[in-house]
Amino acid sequence: MVSINEGTLLSELHLKIIKFFHENQASIDTPRGVSTWVREERPKVKQALEDLVVLKILSAHRSTSTTGYSYTTNKKIISKIEKLLKKRNPS
């Protein structure tokens, strides 16, 4: 498993997406939906979502028409993300 340290290649966009899913852990959304929530361009969001799938932060539910992305259920990863987000935004 790839560790989620601050050193891992996580851009601001990656963090915005992680924050969205961390705050809405029951959410399953398409690249179009996520790009609306994080207010970023869809192609960039799509790539970032796939990066986060590789990091096992997100799960991809693939179908012929679209892919739905959802947050990990792994407690260790969630706890690491919690710390990462607090460190980046203490308020």
Partner 1 sequence: MGEIKDNKGYQRELFDRLKKSISLKKEEECIGLCLGSALWWLIEEPHPKDACLKKLISNKCPVLKDKNSYKKNCCLNTLVEVVKKAGKSRALTNFECLEGLRGFVYPVFQGDKLYGYIGSCYTKKYVSPQLMNVFAAFTDAIVREVQKELELSKLYETIRPRAVALSTVHTVHRLISSTLDMNELLQRIARLSLQILRANRCSIKLVDSTKKLLLPKVTIDLREKKSKLKKVRIGRWSPGKAAKFGRPIRDINYLATPLIDEDVIGVITLYDKVDKKPFTAFDQEIMSTLAEQAVIAIKNAQLYKEQEKLTIGMIRSLATIVSAHAKGTNLPRASFLRITILIGQKMRLPAMGLKELEYATLLHDAGHLVVPDEVLTKPTKLTGREYSMVKEHPITGAEILRPMKSLKSVTPIILHHHENYDGTGYPKGLKKDQIPLGARIMAVVSAFEAMIEKRPYRTRISIDDATEEISRNAGTQFDPKVVQALLEVVKRQDIRAMLMKERYGKHK
Give the interface with partner 1 as residue ranges (CB under 8 A): 24-30, 33, 36-37, 59, 61, 63-66, 68, 70-71, 73, 75
Spatial separation of the C-alpha atoms in residues 54 and 74, rounded to whole Å: 14
Least Å from the CB of residue 86 to partner 1:
18
Nearer to partner 1, 11 or 24 (CB): 24
Give whichever of 27 and 46 is closer to partner 1, judged by the CB atom. Answer: 27
CB of 7: closest distance to partner 1 in angstroms? 28
Structure tokens at 62: 């693939």
Residue 9 CB, nearest approach to partner 1 (Å): 26
